[in-house]
């Protein structure tokens, strides 16, 4: 009894520590470093701005044409354009809001240091629009996970792939409807991307549930807890360890960044390969576990169904 009490208490403490490390630790250790920004200014001011570079930001002095290209391609988080008597900050709503917030603060400080009034030019973005990309990614994951879990609990045996794809369509529809209620709408490209993300998530989850049964929740639940905290940040704000270990691979950041880009007229490229690969892994997992064929004598051995850990019924046929 004493041993059981001690083991369970230690396990709880270890799990709490690991979850804190993988979730809240991301935000607790966030600090800007090498945040890319661009400045357009006459030579005397440009030289002074370049000397204001620091470990927190990486200022690039460019002309107005290059600045517009860098901002459109999300190579920088903000542009400060200085003309005699005026400083203008330009932001791109397709960039992660955390990055644009840091950019606006830093560039405002640079302009004020030069004694210039500051004007900010950026399309108005509502709180719902800032939230939508990450929220949609999380909801698409949760919807597929719940569908896969219920398939196990209800002892589903066949057409698991059909359940996953149907869930992907329905969860996408419910997510789009919820976001529309909040005032966020999507074009056809964004809708297609969301459906692809939902399908890849659902197929991967279905494959893991088939392989591990209800134990797959240990993996899928942990991914859900830690990934949104990382995906909501820009890499230049993350501790380098979190950036390498979590941000570099989490699918949530690809879905979040891709959807945000499509919301504001951008495009996606590598994201299609990422989610195509995830869907392929799911299909391979689903195909890997096949039902045991009947033996020639008509008797099927009593065993354990590996999909959900429950006994299979014995079937015997007499001649």
How confident is the model over 151-168, as pLDDT tens digits? 888 887 788 889 999 999
Q: Measuring CA to CA, how many Å separate 316 from each of 57, 79, 292?
A: 73, 75, 15
Question: What is the mean predicted confidence (pLDDT) over 230-247?
Answer: 80
Number of other residues whose CB lies within 10 A of the CB of residue 264: 14
Q: What pTM, to 2 d.p., does this model score? A: 0.78
145 and 274 in one domain? Answer: yes
74 Ramachandran zone, left/alpha/beta (phi>0; psi -120 to 50): left
215 and 283 in one domain? Answer: yes
The beta-strand segments (E) located in 227-268 are none
132 and 167 in one domain? Answer: yes
| 13, part of any domain | no
| 284, part of any domain | yes
Task: Of 33-37, 60-64, 70-74, 288-292, give the lowest mean pLDDT range.
Answer: 288-292
Q: Tokens 């380098």 appear where?
A: 240
96 and 158 in one domain? Answer: no
Instruction: Return mean pLDDT, the chain.
Output: 81
Helix ranges (DSSP H) in 115-238 = 127-153, 160-181, 188-212, 216-231
63 CB-contact burial (10 Å; exposed 0-12 / middle 13-18 / buried 19+): exposed
Residue 118 φ then ψ, to 5° = -115, 135
Q: Provide the residue count of the chain.
A: 319
**Chain centroid offset of residue 31 CA:** 20
96 and 150 in one domain? Answer: no
167 and 284 in one domain? Answer: yes
CATH number of domain containing 68: 3.40.190
240 and 210 in one domain? Answer: yes
CA nearest neighbour of 271 among 262, 284, 283: 262
198 and 63 in one domain? Answer: no
Q: Print the domain residue range for 249.
A: 127-288
More confident residue, 47 or 219: 219
With b for 16 or more beta-carbon neighbours within 10 A and e for fewer, the 18-49 pattern comes to eeeebbebbeeebebbebbbbbbbeeebbeeb
Q: What is the pLDDT of residue 275?
A: 94
| 216, part of any domain | yes
279 and 148 in one domain? Answer: yes
Does pLDDT of 74 surpass 70?
yes
Could you give the dihedral angle defined by the CA atoms of residues 47, 48, 51 and 56, in that order, rounded to the nearest 10 degrees? -120
237 and 91 in one domain? Answer: no
| 12, part of any domain | no
| 43, part of any domain | yes
| 17, part of any domain | no
Q: How many domains does the chain have?
A: 2
∠ CA 275-281-285, nearest 5°, is 145
Q: What is the pLDDT of residue 104?
A: 86
| 244, part of any domain | yes
State pLDDT tens for residues 139-148.
Answer: 999 999 999 9
More confident residue, 317 or 180: 180
175 and 91 in one domain? Answer: no
Last residue of a domain, one of 121, 151, 183: 121
242 and 150 in one domain? Answer: yes
Contact 136, 179 (CB under 8 A): yes
Does pLDDT of 274 surpass 60?
yes
| 305, part of any domain | no
């Amino acid at each position: 009894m004493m041993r059981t009490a001690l083991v369970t208490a230690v396990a709880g403490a270890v799990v709490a520590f690991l979850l804190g490390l993988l979730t809240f630790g991301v935000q607790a250790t966030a600090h800007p470093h090498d945040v890319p920004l661009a400045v357009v200014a006459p030579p005397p001011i440009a030289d002074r701005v370049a000397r204001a570079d620091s470990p927190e930001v990486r200022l690039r002095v460019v002309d107005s044409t290059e600045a517009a290209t860098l901002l459109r391609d999300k190579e920088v988080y903000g542009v400060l354009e200085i003309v005699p008597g005026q400083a203008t900050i330009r932001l791109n709503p397709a960039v992660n809001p955390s990055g644009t917030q840091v950019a606006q603060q830093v560039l405002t400080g640079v302009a004020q240091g030069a004694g210039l009034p500051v004007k900010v030019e950026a399309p108005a973005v509502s709180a719902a629009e800032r939230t939508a990309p990450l929220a949609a990614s999380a909801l698409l994951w949760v919807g597929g996970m719940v569908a896969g879990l219920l398939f196990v609990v209800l002892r589903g045996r066949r057409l698991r792939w059909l359940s996953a794809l149907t869930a992907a369509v329905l969860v996408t529809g419910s997510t789009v409807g919820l976001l529309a209620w909040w005032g966020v709408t999507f074009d056809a490209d964004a809708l297609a991307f969301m459906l692809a993300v939902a399908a890849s998530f659902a197929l991967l989850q279905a494959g893991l549930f088939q392989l591990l049964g209800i134990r797959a929740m240990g993996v899928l639940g942990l991914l859900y807890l830690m990934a949104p905290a990382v995906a909501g940040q820009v890499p230049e704000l993350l501790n380098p360890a979190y950036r390498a270990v979590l941000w570099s691979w989490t699918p949530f950041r690809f879905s979040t960044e891709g959807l945000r880009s499509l919301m504001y007229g951008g495009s996606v490229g590598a994201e299609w390969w990422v989610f195509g690969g995830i869907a392929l892994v799911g299909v391979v997992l689903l195909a890997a576990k096949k039902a045991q064929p009947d033996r020639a004598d008509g008797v099927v051995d009593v065993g354990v169904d590996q999909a959900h850990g429950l006994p299979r019924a014995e079937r015997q046929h007499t001649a």
